[in-house]
Amino acid sequence: MPDAPTLRLAVVDDHPLFVRGLELLLPVSTDGRAEVVGSTGDAAAAATLVSRCHPDLALVDLHMPPPGGIRAVAAIRRTTPRVRVVAMSGSTDPAPALEALRAGAEGFLPKTSEPEELLPPLLAILDGWAVLPAELLRALLGPSRTASVDLDAEERRLLRAIAAGRSTVDVAEELHVSERTVKRMTAALLRKLRVSNRAEAAAIAGHAGLLTD
């Protein structure tokens, strides 16, 4: 898709080899659709970097020297709220990922992801959807399944789509409604679930067992 817009990324990570790998491999593996426009290994400089280079998405490593990745996520969301934040980690510990979501991250991706696997979830997050590995949701929320929230069939389908990182266009086609209606339905669903963003809604989906239905 040569006419597709370029996805501009800022990377906050103190591992130079990882950052350099993204800089070199992302443009190649995505046919030029994604590029790194700025990077820093200093979590305290994350918000300044994002304000300066105006990316679409900021990738933030959660395991960085103080003030750390969680604070970097919060600072970016506070200073440039239109920029979506994706938390990344090489650890399997779910606790930092949960903290990142609470700090404002819209998604989480493992640092073991191959460059060619990154574009679809990044585009989904840019479109306003949460992207979280099913394994992480199960680890975060445990094996219990709950039906504490009474959802009808359409709401369950929408919640499952949110957890899967489906685009607004795809969900609109599946539900046979307009994109505006999907956005309205999503806002209503978030209110019903008493959550503030799609990432938390995706966590509810995992807790309710919707990812394995």
The predicted-structure confidence for 179-207, as pLDDT tens digits, reads as follows 999 999 998 988 888 777 777 777 776 66
Kindly state whether residues 103 and 200 are assigned to the same domain.
Answer: no
**Mean pLDDT across 153-161:** 85
The Cα–Cα gap between 136 and 206 comes to 9
Q: Please identify, among 126, 161, 178, the residue that sits at the C-terminal boundary of a domain.
A: 126
Instruction: Look at residue 145 in the predicted model and tell me its pLDDT.
Output: 39
Kindly state whether residues 30 and 118 are assigned to the same domain.
Answer: yes
Report if pTM > 0.75.
no
Kindly state whether residues 81 and 144 are assigned to the same domain.
Answer: no
Instruction: Look at residue 154 in the predicted model and tell me its pLDDT.
Output: 86
Instruction: Look at residue 162 in the predicted model and tell me its pLDDT.
Output: 82
Q: Please identify, among 98, 126, 154, the residue that sits at the C-terminal boundary of a domain.
A: 126
**Mean pLDDT across 37-60:** 97
Kindly state whether residues 37 and 90 are assigned to the same domain.
Answer: yes
Question: How many domains does the chain fold into?
Answer: 2
Q: Please identify, among 73, 99, 126, the residue that sits at the C-terminal boundary of a domain.
A: 126
60 within domain boundaries: yes
b/e burial code for range 101-110 (CB count within 10 A of at least 16 → b): bebbbbbbbe
Identify the band that residue 140 occupies on the pLDDT scale cut at 50, 70 and 90.
Answer: low
**Mean pLDDT across 79-100:** 89
Domain with residue 169: its CATH number is: 1.10.10.10
Kindly state whether residues 14 and 65 are assigned to the same domain.
Answer: yes
Structural domain harbouring 167: 139-212
Q: What is the DSSP string of 96-117?
A: HHHHHHHHT-SEEEETT--HHH
1 within domain boundaries: no
**Mean pLDDT across 19-45:** 93
Instruction: Look at residue 86 in the predicted model and tell me its pLDDT.
Output: 96
Domain with residue 18: its CATH number is: 3.40.50.2300
Kindly state whether residues 56 and 109 are assigned to the same domain.
Answer: yes
**Mean pLDDT across 53-67:** 95
